[in-house]
Amino acid sequence: MRINIFSYVKIYRPSVLSLYSERRVNRSTPMPKPRIKTMEELSVAIGVSRPTLSRFFQDPTLVKANTVERIERGLTQVEYVPNFFATRLNRKSTGMIGVIIPYLNDLFFTKLLQSVEEAAMRAGLTVITQCSHSDPAIEARAAETFMSMNVDGALVAPLGDHSDQAVQLRLKSRLPFVLMDSRPTTMPNVDFVGTNHIQSTGLMTEYLCRVGEPPAFLAMPRVNFNALEREAAYIAQMEKLGFEPEVLGTESVSDSAHFEEHGEAILDAEFAHGRLTDRSILCVNDRVAIGAIRAAARHGLTPGRGAKGGLRIAGHDDYPLCPYLNPALTTVAQNTDAIGKKAVSRLLQMIRGEVSGDTPEITLFDGELKLRESA
C-alpha cells in the first residue's frame, strides 16, 4: 500500500502546544515556552485564524467570548509579543501621539515630558518622543517621522523662530497639533500651552526691587522665544517701577557655549572688572543662573539674602537641582504639571473632533515664586 507522506505528516504532526504540554508532563523541570515569532505561527499554534487574532489584538471585544478565552489560554503557553505597529495599521486611531522636545539634557523638559506621559497614559495613549537637539533640520525630520507613522496628534516644544515653518505648517494640516512651552511668532495660529512670562518675570523683578538693589538682567543670545519674552517683561516691569533696565549677555560668548557656560562667562567678565558685585541679578533661566553662581564662587562672592555685600542671584523655571545648589537658587517655578496635562487634554479634544473654529486656544499658567538662599 502506498502512503502519501505529506498527508501522513499533516495528519499526525503534533501541534506546538500539545508538544509543550507533553514535555511538561514528562519532565519535573518546567520547559521554556515555545517562542512564536509571527502571527501566522501563532495562528497555527493556537488553532484560530489569522484575521481573528488580528481583531483580538486590535480590540478583544470584536471577538467572541469563547474565542477570546481560547486565545488568552494559548498565549499563556507560548512566548509571543505582538508587533506594536502591525496591530495598529488598520485602526482608525493608532493610539499614539508624538512629542518633540528641544533638549535631552535639560531637566525642565524631563519634568514636562513626565507630565505629558502621565496624562497620556491615563488617556490610554502611547507617547513617541523625538528630540530636535537644538537643530531645525532634526526638528523637521522628527515632524516628518510622526506624519509617516500616522500618529493621532503631536505636541511640540519648538526651538523658536528658526524652526522650519513649512514643516510645521504641514504638520498642522495633517495632524492635530499643539505647541507647548514656547510659541514662535511664525506660528500664531497654532494652539499653545505655556507660562505667562509677563506675570512670572514681573513677579521676580518686583521682588528683587523690593528687597535690594534693582536687578540687572542676565539674558542670552536672542534666538529663544521664551528668553525674548522674559527680557521684554523685565524691561516693562522695571520701567513700571521707575527704574532703569540693564540687560547684559545678549551676545554669544562662543558657538559651543551652553546656558551654564554662557552665564558663567558673562558674569566672570563683569566680576573681574568689579562690576555687579553688590547688585541683584535676574537670570533668564535657572541654567544660566547656575553658571552665574559658579562665577560668583570663583571670585569669592556669596550671593544671598543673609550674605554681606548685596549680591543676589535669581533664576526662572525651578530647575529640579535648584534647591541643592550652594546657595540654593531663588527662582520662579513654571507649572509643568499643569502645562503637560492641559496640552494632552487639548490635543485629545482635537483628536476627537471636539474643537470648532480656526481661532487658536492660548492657555498660560502663572509662575510661583520660590524663595531660597541666593536672593
What CATH number is given to the structural domain containing 176?
3.40.50.2300
Any alpha helices (H) in the chain, and if so which ranges? 5-12, 16-26, 39-46, 50-58, 65-75, 107-122, 136-149, 165-174, 197-211, 225-240, 259-272, 286-298, 336-351
Residue from 78, 76, 5 nearest 44 by CA = 78
DSSP letter, residue 359: P
206 and 325 both lie in a single domain: yes
Containing domain of residue 286, as a range? 197-333
223 and 308 both lie in a single domain: yes
Q: Using CA atoms, how far apart are residues 184 and 195, in angstroms rounded to an integer? A: 14
Q: Encode burial over 90-125: b for 16+ CB neighbours within 10 A, e otherwise.
A: eeeebebbbbbbbbeebebbebbbebbbebbeeeeb
Give the Cβ contact number of residue 7 at 10 Å.
9
Q: Using CA atoms, how far apart are residues 41 and 35, in angstroms rounded to an integer? A: 10
263 and 349 both lie in a single domain: no
236 and 352 both lie in a single domain: no
Residue from 182, 200, 187 nearest 102 by CA = 182
Average pLDDT over residues 339-348: 98
Residue 161, C-alpha cell as written in the block: 523662530
149 and 48 both lie in a single domain: no
In a domain, 374, yes or no: no
Chosen domain end from 88, 107, 142: 88
Q: Using CA atoms, how far apart are residues 289 and 61, in angstroms rounded to an integer? A: 55
190 and 283 both lie in a single domain: no
> What type of residue is 229?
E
> What type of residue is 29?
T
Count up the domains in the chain and report the number.
Answer: 3
**Least confident piece of the model among 90-94, 218-222, 329-333:** 90-94
313 and 329 both lie in a single domain: yes
Task: Please tell me whether residue 315 adopts helix, strand or coil conformation.
Answer: coil
Chosen domain end from 39, 59, 88: 88
In a domain, 371, yes or no: no
168 and 249 both lie in a single domain: no
pLDDT in tens, 12-24: 334 444 444 444 4
189 and 222 both lie in a single domain: no
Q: Kind of pairing, strands 126-131 and 96-101?
A: parallel
Average pLDDT over residues 194-212: 97
- The label of the residue with cell 520662579 reads 332
327 and 207 both lie in a single domain: yes
205 and 307 both lie in a single domain: yes
pLDDT in tens, 82-91: 766 665 555 6
In a domain, 9, yes or no: yes
Residue 284, C-alpha cell as written in the block: 533668564
Residue 257 has pLDDT above 60, yes or no: yes
204 and 139 both lie in a single domain: no
Q: Which residue has the higher pLDDT, 193 or 2?
A: 193
Chosen domain end from 29, 59, 88: 88
Percent of all residues in the chain with a pLDDT value above 90, rounded to a whole number:
60
Give the Cβ contact number of residue 223 at 10 Å.
13
In a domain, 76, yes or no: yes
In a domain, 375, yes or no: no
Residue 281 · residue 214 · CB < 8 Å: no
Count of CA atoms in the C-beta half-sphere (13 A) of 22: 6
